[in-house]
Structure 1
Amino acid sequence: MRWLVPVILVALPTVLYFVYAWSIRARAEREGREVDDPLDKPPVFWLLLAGVVLCAVVLGIWGLSGGAPPGSTYTPPRMQDGEIMPGGFT
């Protein structure tokens, strides 16, 4: 499930651009004027770059803000009395 966050973050600028293009086209049709279709030449490079930067920033914040306290020791999962005891930080 963790893979879903980067995928959403990379796709978010493109989705927002499509919403923007749709709104520009709808407003032009409502006002009865012609406008160049923003979807004819979408700024693919800039959309991809914005998604990657957004993903890097959020993942960096996520990685730095979570985790175990400094100096803690990790205990792996273990078998005790026929049951698997979960691991964790102590």
Structure 2
Amino acid sequence: MLRVALTHLLLFLLPFLCYAIWLWLTKRSKDPDRWARGPLAWLTVSGLVLVIAGFIVMSTLNRGPDGTDYRPTQMKDGVFVPGGFE
């Protein structure tokens, strides 16, 4: 669960990071107006779009074949029985 949360946090912060790198490379980071409301609003919206896309991709990749249920890993008689779709 922590991996999923960190993945989506990274997806949200990715546009901000790219914008900061672009400002640094173009030497415009010293101008505080570059971080005004306009760019922050669009960066937030694009971050949310990336998070929603990440949720959709993860839900489609983690789905098993139709008509099957997921059985988690269990320990029976001292032996791990791997999980899977049944």
TM-score (norm 1): 0.69
Deviation larger for 51-60 or 80-89: 80-89
- Greater helix percent: which structure? 2
Computing the radius of gyration from Cα coordinates, the structure with the larger value is 1
Shift of 1:15: 0.5
Tell me the TM-score normalized by structure 2.
0.72
Number of aligned residue pairs: give it.
Answer: 80
Deviation digits for residues 8-37 of structure 1 (CA, Å, limit 9, x no counterpart): 1100000111111112227xxxxxxxxx82
Runs of 5+ unmatched residues, structure 1: 27-35
Q: Which runs of 5+ in 2 are unaligned?
A: none
What is the RMSD computed on CA atoms of the aligned residues? 2.3
The percent identity for this pair of structures is 31
| CA deviations over 1:29-66 (Å, ceiling 9, x no partner) | xxxxxxx82x4341222111110111111221221233
Q: 1:17 to 1:78 in 2, by over 3 A?
A: closer
For 1:60 and 1:88, the matched residues in 2 are separated by 21
- Find the counterpart in structure 2 of residue 66 from structure 1: 62
CA distance in 2, matches of 1:70, 1:81: 31
1:55-87 CA distances to partner (integer Å, 9 max, x unpaired)?
111221221233211111333444422334233
**Which of residues 52, 66, 70 in structure 1 aligns to 2:48?**
52
Question: Aligned runs of 1:23-34 on 2, under 5 Å?
Answer: 23-25=25-27
Equivalent of 1:20 in 22, 25, 47: 22
Q: 2: CA distance between counterparts of 1:76 and 1:57?
A: 26
Change (3 A) 1:75 1:23: closer
